[in-house]
Amino acid sequence: MQIETIRHSLAHILAQAVQEINPKVKLGMGPAIENGFYYDFEMSFVPEDLARIEKKMKELIKQNITFQKKLISKSEAEKLFKEQPYKLELINELKGKITIYQGGKFVDLCKGPHVKSTKEINPESFRLNKIAGAYWKGSEKNQMLTRIYGLAFKDKKELNLCLQKEAEAEKRDHRTLGQKLGLFLFDEEVGAGLPIWKPKGTILRQIIRDYLHKELSSQGYQWVTSPHIGKLDLWKTSGHWNHYRENMYSPIQIDQEQYMLKPMNCPFSVKVYKSEIRSYKDLPIKYAELGTVYRYERSGVLHGLTRVRGFTQDDAHIICTPEQLSKEIENLLRFSFRILKTFGFKNYDIYLSTRPEKYAGSLKDWEKATNVLKYALQELKLKWQIDQGGGVFYGPKIDIKIKDSLGRPWQCTTIQTDFNLTERFDISYINEKGKKQKPFMIHRAILGSLERFIGVLLEHYAGSLPFWLSPEQIWVIPLGQKHEKYAKEIGKTLENSNFRTKVKDENETVSKKIREGEIQKIPYLLVVGDKEMKAKTVRIRERGKGDTGEIKINKFIEKIKK
Amino acid sequence: MQIETIRHSLAHILAQAVQEINPKVKLGMGPAIENGFYYDFEMSFVPEDLARIEKKMKELIKQNITFQKKLISKSEAEKLFKEQPYKLELINELKGKITIYQGGKFVDLCKGPHVKSTKEINPESFRLNKIAGAYWKGSEKNQMLTRIYGLAFKDKKELNLCLQKEAEAEKRDHRTLGQKLGLFLFDEEVGAGLPIWKPKGTILRQIIRDYLHKELSSQGYQWVTSPHIGKLDLWKTSGHWNHYRENMYSPIQIDQEQYMLKPMNCPFSVKVYKSEIRSYKDLPIKYAELGTVYRYERSGVLHGLTRVRGFTQDDAHIICTPEQLSKEIENLLRFSFRILKTFGFKNYDIYLSTRPEKYAGSLKDWEKATNVLKYALQELKLKWQIDQGGGVFYGPKIDIKIKDSLGRPWQCTTIQTDFNLTERFDISYINEKGKKQKPFMIHRAILGSLERFIGVLLEHYAGSLPFWLSPEQIWVIPLGQKHEKYAKEIGKTLENSNFRTKVKDENETVSKKIREGEIQKIPYLLVVGDKEMKAKTVRIRERGKGDTGEIKINKFIEKIKK
């Protein structure tokens, strides 16, 4: 028996169980999904309901209910489901005979397939695990229903493995960690998908910003700064209005003009390029910007920091001669891997995304650029896959998905060729022969966005960020009031060595401070009392290791400077 | 004779002169203004036209034309001005008898007063100096006319003094300097009042950002980061929708909600404050943000960087106990003066701005906060003036206008009390008695905005930014190709000492490079040839001083490190 069929049948049994509890419940849809199934109901539930429903499902399964497929006419179906408005809506959209499945007293509109009898289902190998809101047919314009999710596997062992994995992922959930570590917040009144960064989160952003600044400057990047809105005309010229409108927000009216929140930074970099006459000797020109862009995402798909409506890209635009393109792509790939490794990511899935249905430019340009990307991947002897039709409207791209410590892939780096903007904004350089020539343009982001990348970092490290990324690196905890002065001296010494240090001199117990430091995943907690004061030492509690002994402060600084 | 009357009569003579050149010209309005007069015409001019018109005006003046006031009926006026649609529009708005002035063959709709005869005008004491576009009645909805400006004074000496001042101000015009120094650009297609910062401008912003970061962090400020849009609901809660709407842009529709571009950063800082329970022991809490805000300005008042539609405030919000308020205001004043002095501003006009017509909060709160501000100003023994009704809707404020090297005042620092947001967002802290209490809130910006402040810096220094603020501090210029290697070594040495250095090894003449360096106001140009290479020295050309001799590179580094 296919596990998908069992999952699908469990969805029916779930609906049947809920209907037995509340015969008037209005039913939505209930398919099999990865790892399990769900069913949507017009009814509210509390988490405690799940156990009760699960129990009812097990009873039903033990009744060895058989599933019977029937073909009925549309009018019969309408009569059968007259109390079920969502089913009626679906029936209305169908043509010809209607397939239904009957299992015991329960009938559902369904194409199947199903198990023959609930005998085939192991009642110990499924678990109802989640309640969530879901719009009917996934559209915000429709009624919000309640979705009950279940996990289902062929046996209990597989189920437990999945439950373990989910528990691990939950511990690593960056949304929970973000709150616990005091990094960021979301606020209903501000709006969904719009994170506000608290002081510690802002420090983390600044550490990443400063690191990127150093790395990129050493690679000859120049930084630019652009506004968050631009005239609709600009986006018409750039092609975004034509090809990217569904990701853009509604216009803002200023005097007689319409302005758009920027979904991308590119047109502004183009304007900087165009503000001077460029020679082949100036190329490649690399403009970098930590640009905050705004893109529409349906509220249903928003997820913590990894799917937001406003985010700061580590964006760059490289403008080069046709001859330089291939080399630049190779450099970029190498550079990206180096940056990602610094953050601790060493496993990747690499994709070459080709022409989408909606595209700008000529087929010849697409082919040429795709070949350049392929060539670079081959030169670097990388393993990669084709993502057919996954390119952006303006050109093919290479995407790097980084794999976190649970093996989950996350889209981060993207290297995109563009022969659309250079054309549309008519940008040029003076070549060796003194003639105007069209350059090539590369868009690229290495981390992708600060938001998504920080989300991934938190999940990858389960919140225990590497020392260099920790917003607070060291807490100094005095054992008693008389050790506060010494604790402050230690704090000062550490700060002078540029370590982000906090002296915990609040009126709390030492054990409470240590516990708090552990929750906040501070890399080093230094406890100081009489003994340490006398010996000019500190007692180290290292994150994940506990007490690692007493040490002279200068030795400690040497140790952490490594 | 009042100079305003002479200026007004000159406006008429200007119109008459233009009409004699082009009898069909459509006339707008022509008042006296500060330092002179203008007249609007539906006609295009080139700068060369001004001399011709000026000559014609002088001829008219010498004819000793007398100005005669007449009262005529509306219908007579309509007949008289039947070829002048703008005049007809004005006549249509008037009631009762219409006043006209006749001077020679020229008649204008005008209330006067005028000189009796052009005999009273010194033909050597005026000058036509500018052509600009101007909407009829100042509204973007109307026809764009051409405005001719003139300067006029009682004698030639005063005129020349003004011309000198204007020339000096023009040399210091940050819009011209910004382009010359390659700092920023404005682009028609992007939109008015929305600067794009080029690489050198972005470096300048980063220098200021990093300086502020260091200074503010040492004062216990914490940094936060907030989005550029927020739900309309947020702005309703904050009171901006009620009291500040005319400065806000039109809403953006996202799903079922309306969102606004932020005109201020405050509500987001409030959300960060509210995300945790705060104790009196935590206060004062100081949240800083370089937050980019968007505010409506009419297109007519936009001016380079000093009047824009999107700008980055060096914003902060200080939340403190009522007891701390006075001390915090004093600290802020002292801190602001220190920061401003570092940038080279030592003269100020200080204003205490009181309750405006449109305000939130109780009269008692306003009085209390105004007294706290007064007290702080007195404690610091500062000279200050009252700006009656100049406060923001949420509380009184202290404004510091810095004076530039030409003595012109520029609004920069603002320290604003707020008892509105604390109330509206219901924020609190736990006081010594374990009870909830309402804190006080201060909004403050020291530079005001990066845009305006950089504009002022450029005008103050006429582009010759202090060494520490110069995006490019040193150029190393090799005399010939064989000195390039040595130039690069010098460049490397300087970069290793953290000086922003450029080695000018382009294929250009040395004199062209030096000229270019002077135009770009580079603080030090180091020229190296055979002699310098051999002696391990550099030849210095210091900005504003010329050649200041040969020096060992380490001596040079010592010198500039001071």
* CB contacts, 8 Å: B226 with chain A: 196-197
Measured between beta carbons, the chain B residues lying within 8 angstroms of A202 are: 222-225
Which B residues 453-512 touch A at CB under 8 Å? Answer: 506
Residue B234 φ/ψ region, left for φ over 0, alpha for ψ in the -120 to 50 degree band, beta for the rest: alpha
Active site residue B426: no
Question: One-letter amino acid identity for A546?
Answer: G
- Which entry of B314, B315, B365, B404 is annotated as an active-site residue? B315
Predicted confidence (pLDDT) per residue in A138-168, tens digit: 887 889 999 999 999 999 999 999 999 888 8
Tell me the pTM. 0.84
Residue of A185, A290, A102 lying closest to B268 (CA atoms) = A185
Question: Nearest 5°: CA angle at B351, between B306 and B367?
Answer: 125
A255 close to B (CB below 8 A): yes
Question: CA torsion sign, B46 to B51 to B52 to B57?
Answer: positive
Q: At A477, which amino acid appears?
A: I
Residue ranges in chain B whose pLDDT is less than 50: none
pLDDT of the residue at B406: 84
**Confidence at residue A78, expressed as pLDDT on a 0 to 100 scale:** 92
Selecting among A200, A397, A444, A541, the annotated active-site residue is A397
Tell me how far apart the alpha carbons of residues A122 and A154 are, in angstroms, rounded to a whole number: 7
DSSP label at residue A104 = T
Q: Does B232 touch chain A (CB under 8 A)?
A: no
| Residues of chain A contacting residue B212, judged by C-beta atoms under 8 Å apart | none
pLDDT confidence of A223, banded at 50, 70, 90?
A: very high
Q: Is A148 exposed, middle or buried (0-12, 13-18, 19+ CB in 10 A)?
A: buried
Residue A13: strand, helix, or coil:
helix
pLDDT value of residue A482? 95
Q: Closest-CA residue in chain A for B213?
A: A206
User: How near does any CA of chain B get to the CA of A282, in Å?
Assistant: 10
- A481-530 pLDDT, tens digit each: 999 999 999 999 999 999 999 999 988 999 999 999 999 999 999 999 99
Asked whether A313 and A269 are in contact (CB, 8 A), the reply is no
Residue A515 has what pLDDT?
95
**pLDDT, position B507:** 87
Residue A340 and residue A348 in contact, taking contact as beta carbons nearer than 8 Å: yes
- CB-closest option in A227, A249, A257 to B310: A227
Distance, CA of A447 to CA of B195 (rounded, Å)? 27
Which residue in A191, A201, A299 is closest to B259 by CB distance? A191
Q: How many Å from the N-terminal Cα to the C-terminal Cα in chain B?
A: 58
* Tens of pLDDT, residues A56-107: 999 999 999 999 999 999 999 999 999 999 999 999 998 889 999 998 888 9
List CB contacts (< 8 A) between A199 and chain B.
222-224, 272, 287
β partners of residue B430: B279, B436
Give the CA dihedral B113, B116, B120, B126, nearest 10 degrees.
40
- Least CB-CB distance to A256: which of B140, B203, B249? B140
Taking a C-beta distance cutoff of 8 angstroms, is the pair A416, A445 a contact? no
Over residues A439-464, the mean pLDDT reads 96
Cβ atoms of A1 and A111 within 8 Å: the answer is no
- pLDDT at position B496: 94
Distance (Å, whole) CA A475 – CA A66: 64
Q: In a 10 Å sphere around its CB, with 0-12 CB exposed, 13-18 middle and 19+ buried, how is residue B323 labelled?
A: exposed
Q: Could you give the CA distance from residue B527 to residue B539 in angstroms, rounded to a whole number?
A: 5
Contacts of A498 in chain B (CB under 8 A): none
* Closest listed residue to residue B193, CA positions, set B72, B67, B65, B302: B302
> Which of A272, A319, A492, A495 is best to mutate for the B interface (most B CBs within 10 A)?
A272
Set A87, A205, A309, A317: catalytic member:
A317
> Is residue A70 within a helix (H) or strand (E), and if so which, with residue range?
strand A67-72
- The active-site residue, picked from A8, A295, A355, A504, is A295
Nearest beta carbon to residue A233 from set B189, B203, B298: B189
Q: Is B67 helix (H, G, I), strand (E, B) or coil?
A: strand
Residues in chain A: 562
- Closest C-alpha among B43, B35, B65 to residue B150: B35
Check if B293 contacts A (Cβ < 8 Å): no
Residue B158 phi/psi, 5-degree rounding, is: -65, -40
Quote the ipTM score.
Answer: 0.84
Which residue matches tokens 């009950």?
Answer: A148
Sign of the torsion angle spanned by Cα atoms A491, A496, A499, A502: positive
Among B114, B127, B317, B541, the one annotated catalytic: B317
Verify whether the Cβ–Cβ distance A271 to B141 is below 8 Å. Answer: no
Check whether A466 has a pLDDT greater than 80.
yes
pLDDT digits (tens, 9 = 90+) for A158-208: 999 999 988 888 889 999 999 999 999 999 999 999 999 999 999 999 999
* Cα A549 off chain centre by: 39
pLDDT for B319: 97
User: In this structure, are residues A151 and A1 in contact, taking their beta carbons and an 8 Å threshold?
Assistant: no
A433 pLDDT band (50/70/90 cuts)?
very high
Q: Give the strand order in the sheet containing B501-503.
A: B501-503, B474-478, B524-528, B537-542, B546-552
The CB-based long-range contact list for B429-436 (8 Å cut-off, 24+ gap) reads B429/B278, B429/B279, B429/B280, B429/B282, B429/B283, B429/B319, B429/B321, B430/B277, B430/B278, B430/B279, B430/B280, B431/B280, B431/B321, B432/B280
β-bridge partners, B269:
none
C-alpha triplet B183, B189, B193: angle, nearest 5° = 55
Q: Assess A231–B contact: CB distance below 8 Å, yes or no.
A: yes
| Complete DSSP assignment for A262-331 | -S-SHHHHHHHHHTS--BGGGPSEEEEEEEEEE----GGG-BTTTB-SEEEEEEEEEEE-TTTHHHHHHH
Please, how many CA atoms are within 13 Å of residue B259, restricted to the half-sphere of its CB?
Answer: 27
Residue A348 has pLDDT above 80, yes or no: yes
Q: pLDDT band for position A8 (50/70/90)?
A: very high
Residue type, B331: N
Contact check, Cβ <8 Å, A140/B256: yes
Helix axes A199-218 and A450-460, enclosed angle (nearest 10): 110
pLDDT at A365: 87
CA distance B479 to chain A (A): 20
Quickly count: other Cβ atoms within 10 Å of residue B474's Cβ. 25
- Given CA atoms A402, A404, A408, A411 in this order, what sign does their dihedral have? negative
- Cβ count within 10 A of residue B88: 14
CA distance A219 to A332: 10
A16 touches chain B (CB under 8 A): no
